[in-house]
Chains A and B, each alone.
Chain A
Amino acid sequence: MLKTEELQINIGPQHPSTHGVFRLMATVDGETVVHLEPVFGYLHRNHEQLGEIWTYLQTITITDRLDYFNSMINEHGYCMTVEKLASIEVPERAEYIRVIMSELSRILNHAAAIGFWLQDMGSWGTTLMFGFRQREMIMDIFESVGGSRMMCNYMRFGGVARDLTPNLVEQINLFLEGFPQFIDDFERLMMENEILLARSRNVGVLPKELAAAYSVTGPVIRGSGIPYDIRRAEPYSIYDRFAFDIPVGSVGDVYDRFLVRMEEMRQSHRILRQAMEQLPQASGSYINQAYKAASKQQGLRLPAGEAYCRVESPKGELGYYIVSNGGNSAYRYGIRAPSLINLTALNDMCRGYTVADIVVILGSIDIVMGEVDR
């Protein structure tokens, strides 16, 4: 046997498939990964500190920049936390609109995540563009409601900023009609692809126990076989009114996470269908009008206390923790970012696989650096 030497390669911070400025210090023996250390912090923007300086209303705008793929869900979680602390009632119609927007962002995120994942695997753009076509349609909807495609800034304390117009309802329904066709096409194109199966099955296996020990959430833990979803474990908003299934994988490999994401898009579509059906019967306005009128007179001051709220972001459990001392901005503000915590399991997932697998495994976790570094 020839004597071989371990080689350390820095994948990143500038690298095509690290999903942002992120560095992986990989120690490799030939092409096999011996050790892998994620290094992050290149995109730190003082998010939590800003949240303690800015007023509550201003902070909504920077929650968009956390996980910039699904700003709607970020806002949803933040607004819920503030509403919990300030005991602001949310009308039924507003809740429906929030759920619709959240599920649309989940589809948006998963479509893009699968596209990026396949791009990392080397399928050269076609699949990414397939995902992006759906993403584009949803972003048109977001642009109509929020005024911006990615940084929507749409949710407010007590509801949402604008009501859904009949035109928009039609646009959403149109999207929902075309969506099953997309996902069927995508499955036919990719799900049984021989190379994809070879690349992803039994790669990056995260066993059930390890997944729980690392407290990973989202599609990663569901891919490992634990049916943990905040929408079911601790139903927030009006998620207890909808019928939907939680897909789980059986092995915990990269392919399972892919299947889970595909199935979650179908389930989101199911929720959206129900929500759109029930929306006309929902009582109340798009925002708590009494609170809206009161907040025009004076800015929001939360009573002293603390609150933690969590929502199921497409990446996992997204939690907001706010401590108030009675002022008009948070005294302490903290975020449990799913991307960051899912990333901690990366070393265990990658060890023993090859350099080519690193990017595939990283893509299957689906991180957004804006959320990891905050």
Chain B
Amino acid sequence: MRAMWEFFFGVGWLATLTSYLTITTAILVAGSLVMMLLTWIERRGLGYMQDRKGPNRVGPFGLFQPIAEAIKTITKEDITPTDADRWVHFLAPVVILASTVAAFAVIPWGNLIPVDINVGVLYIVAVSAVHTVGILMAGWASNNKFALLGGMRGVAQAISYEIPQVLSLVSIVMLVGSMSVVDVIQNQMDPYGNILSWHIFTPVGLLSFIVFWIASLAEGERPPFDNPEAESELVAGYMTEYGGMKFAVLFLANYLTNFAICAVTAGVFLGGGNGPGSDIPILGTLLSVFYFLAKSLGLFFVMVWIRGVVPRLRIDELMHFAWKFLLPLALVNIFSTSLWIAIIRWGAEQGMGIAEALGAPGSIARIAVAWVVTAIINVVAFFLVARLNATRGVTTYQATPTAV
């Protein structure tokens, strides 16, 4: 990108600045476009799940509905409640949107990589945590009790779920040996285009994926963890007092967060833009963007699917779930990841590792042994934790209506 602009300008610093501006603009435009697509997918998907059509009037298949709605929200009056803290109320959507957009800086769109920094995974987690501050600002500044409760819930939930989320990523970082998102994706690249090299197809990666995905649903305030904006309880939670453009910004940030989650999940666990033919020079880039979008939007559809069926968890149950279910699993997963690494790498230099000691020479056998060991540990851990969590309710309760 920089080389192209240098050709035009002939000045180094101007070319650097322009190339960054170009990338930023591209991210912002593409982000907004994807967000429009996401709202459309969500509403149409939910519509078909619920025996109705969803928006289908504006444009082909209702695809322009988000544009119509954007115009509507922009032209609405901008209201600040009387006793609200005006500046904080104004800044909250900005903070939320900024933190979300910032995360996109390191998310590769297939082979198109905005920035490759060596702590990319950590950066995503850190930047999206700023989101929490914005939620609290919005809840506090609105001078509304529903908003306050929603903001408090949002903070409690985000802080709790960040821990399993980060810990599940630790496993992957250990596996890859690098925090760069590009390295994580490269690690899943197989010369033969074999999708089995994706992280999700290892026992460690699968458990990590489950924990990360559930924790991310909570981070993105998706049902069944949409407590901060629980419509049936808190009207709209921290967004209650927002209208017009400010609401649109919050809404945009919300969907961008969801897309960022899907994109990170696709990159870290599903091989990002990897797929057949993604390494061909020019066509491959297009193909990889297509694969990346297909995976991300597929994951987003899973989000919609979950939203279509499950009720919402109560806030205390939500906390129990984070601390008693996800956290132990994430810790177990770190343990089995270290075993996996140990089995595959230990003594590899001397040609005498654990796998060889067990009588299985060769790297395939090492992987097989590592696979079986970690699979056993993870499956046992999963069912043990599930059982320990389930028994609480079952023993104390039994209710079937008996006919009289």
Contact = CB atoms under 8 A, between A and B. Distances in A.
B329 interface: no
A357 interface: yes
Interface in A197-232: 197-199, 201-202, 222, 227
Contact of B50 (A126, A197, A250): A126
5 contacts: A9-B146, A16-B232, A118-B311, A122-B232, A354-B315
A122 B398 contact: no
Contacts of A101: none
A227 B403 CA distance: 9
A259 B397 CA distance: 14
Interface residues of B, number: 39
Contacts of A317: none
A349 to B, nearest CB: 16
A9 B398 CA distance: 34
Given A15-B235, A199-B314, A263-B401, A124 B308 contact: yes
A250 to B, nearest CB: 5
Interface in B374-404: 393, 396-404
Interface string A91-105: 000000000000000
A196 B311 contact: yes
Contacts of A9: 145-146, 149
Contact of B403 (A119, A120, A193, A247): A247
Interface stretch (B57-65, B96-104, B222-230, B353-361): B222-230
Contacts of B393: 197-198, 201-202
Contacts of A120: 232
A355 interface: yes
Which range holds the interface residue count of chain A? 35 or more
A195 B311 contact: yes
Interface string B303-318: 0000111111111110
* A118, A121, A130 interface centre (most CB from chain B within 10 Å): A121
B46 interface: yes
Contacts of B396: 202
B314 A198 contact: yes
B103 to A, nearest CB: 26
B17 interface: no
Interface in A120-134: 120-126, 128-130, 133
Contacts of A248: 401-402, 404
A201 B399 contact: yes
A279 interface: no
A256 B145 contact: no
B49 A17 contact: no
Contacts of B190: none
A245 interface: yes
Contacts, number: 123
A357 B315 CA distance: 10
A247 to B, nearest CB: 4
Contacts of A125: 46, 50, 308
B107 to A, nearest CB: 28
Given A124-B223, A198-B314, A356-B315, A246 B399 contact: no
B51 to A, nearest CB: 5
A359 B149 CA distance: 15
Contacts of A126: 46, 49-50, 308-309
Interface of B: 46, 49-52, 145-146, 149, 223-224, 226-227, 230-235, 307-317, 393, 396-404
B311 A253 contact: no
Contacts of B233: 17, 122, 355-356, 358-359
A354 B316 contact: yes
Given A9-B146, A248-B401, A129 B310 contact: no
A189 B146 CA distance: 31
B397 A201 contact: yes
A199 B46 contact: no
Contacts of B145: 7, 9
Contact of A124 (B46, B234, B316): B46
B49 A250 contact: no
A129 B52 contact: yes
A122 B402 contact: no
A121 B312 contact: yes
A124 B307 contact: yes
A202 B398 CA distance: 10
Contacts of A202: 393, 396-397
Given A31-B315, A125-B46, A356-B315, A17 B232 contact: yes
A356 to B, nearest CB: 5
Given A201-B397, A255-B399, A123 B149 contact: no
Contacts of B224: 122, 195
A15 B144 CA distance: 14
Contacts of B52: 129
A341 interface: no
B304 to A, nearest CB: 10
A251 B393 CA distance: 14
Contacts of B400: 250, 259
Nearest to A363: B232
Given A125-B46, A125-B50, A198-B393, A260 B401 contact: yes
A128 B393 CA distance: 27
A15 B236 CA distance: 10
B197 to A, nearest CB: 33
A251 B50 CA distance: 32
